[in-house]
Chain A
C-alpha cells in the first residue's frame, strides 16, 4: 500500500434532501474536516462550499417536487486534496444558468440569490458538474492542499 493510499480517507453520508437535515450534513463535513486535521482556513472554505451546494439542492433542486429525494455527500481526503462530492436525484441543474451575483451593486439592488454559487466557485480550486444517468446531478468540489487563495 502506498503512502498516499494509507493517508487517504473517504466518508459518506446519505440523507433526505430536506432543510431539517442541513444540520446533519454540516456536522458530517465538520467532523470529516476535523478528522482530516485540515488547516482552519481550508476547513472554512470546504464547509462554506458544501453548505452552499447542499442548500442549493434542498432549496432549488428538490423544490417543486412531490417529496425531497436523497443527497449523498462524500468527503475524500488525501495528502494532495480534499474532494467533496454531492449526488442528488433532482432535475438537471445548469450552473451556467445561475444569474451571477453582482458584488458591486448598490444596496437597493442587492440580492442574495446567486451569492451561494459565487462562493462555491471562489473558495474551491475546481468545481465540476455532471448530469447522472438516468437522472440526477453530481457536483464535485476540489480543494487542493497547499494551494494559496
Chain B
C-alpha cells in the first residue's frame, strides 16, 4: 500500500494505492490521524487505486470519520472501486460515509 497526501484547498486528499488489510491498516490509520491532529479535518480518501479492503481497513475508516466529525470536519471517499464498494455495503458503511465518483466531486462537496 502507498499513501500520498495532497492539499487541495479547502480539503486534504489522501490518495491510497494497493490493499488496505491487516498488514497495512495501521499505517493508514496513523497517516489519517496525523492529518486530523494537524488540523486538516476536511479529509478525502481517494480510493480509486484500492483493490482490496478487509475489516482491518474499515477500522481505520471508522476511527477517522468519527475523529474528523468530532473536530468539525468530515472524511469522505472518492473513486471507490466495485469490490471495495461491496465490502462497504456489506458493513453498512455506505450509509455513514459520503461517497463521490471522483476526487473533484468530493473536493467540491466541501464549502469553500
Interface of A with B (CB < 8 Å)? Answer: 19, 22-23, 26, 40-41, 44, 47-48, 51-52, 55, 101-108, 110, 112, 115-116, 118-119, 122-123
Please name 6 pairs of A and B residues whose Cβ atoms are closer than 8 Å in the assembled complex, sorted by A: A26-B22, A48-B54, A103-B90, A108-B66, A119-B55, A119-B91
Interface of A is mostly: helix
* Cβ–Cβ < 8 Å partners of A23 in chain B: 23
User: Bound state CA distance, A41 and B59, in angstroms?
Assistant: 23
Residues of B within 8 A of A107 (CB): 65-66, 69, 96
Main secondary structure of the interface of B (DSSP, over half): helix
B90 touches A26 (CB 8 A): no
Q: In chain A, what residue has the closest Cβ to B24?
A: A23
Please give, as numbers and ranges, the residues of chain B lying within 8 Å of A44 by CB-CB distance. 52, 83
Nearest chain A residue, comparing its CB with the CB of B23 = A23
Closest residue of B by beta carbon distance from A112: B59
Chain B residues with CB under 8 Å of A119's CB are 54-55, 87, 90-91
Contact (Cβ within 8 A) B90 A122: yes
The CA of A26 and the CA of B53, in the complex, are separated in Å by 13
Taking the closest CB of chain A, its distance from the CB of B64, in whole angstroms, is 12
Chain B positions within 8 Å of A47 at CB level: 52
* B59 adjacent to A55 (CB under 8 Å): no
